[in-house]
Amino acid sequence: MNVMNNEISSVTEIATVTLRQNVTEVMSHYFSNLKGEEPRNIYDFFLDEIEEPLLAAVMKYTRNNQSEAARVLNISRGTLRTKLKKYGML
């Protein structure tokens, strides 16, 4: 069991590094292409961009089991349902 936990931790660390690198690259690209415009609502923009594919991937992983998906995401099932409705995934 300890070996499995170590493997999960390693995969999580690799994924985190890659995700961080991707975020840095995307935001750098975003800022370099503003063409004089003032950046606005970056937080909401970025969350909207990643939330839908994240939910889709988790729902696929859990075979559309909302309770399991909520557990994996560490959010309540009600919050999950609200987010799924927002993206037309219910």
**N residues, the chain:** 90
Reported pTM: 0.70
- With beta carbons less than 8 A apart as the criterion, state whether 72 and 62 touch: yes
- Output the pLDDT for position 18: 81
- Output the pLDDT for position 19: 83
Question: 77-86 and 66-73 helices cross at what angle (nearest 10)?
Answer: 100
- Output the pLDDT for position 53: 96
Q: List the pLDDT tens digit at each of the 90 positions of the chain.
A: 555 556 656 666 666 668 888 889 989 999 999 999 999 899 998 898 899 999 999 999 999 999 999 999 999 999 999 999 999 999
- With beta carbons less than 8 A apart as the criterion, state whether 66 and 77 touch: yes
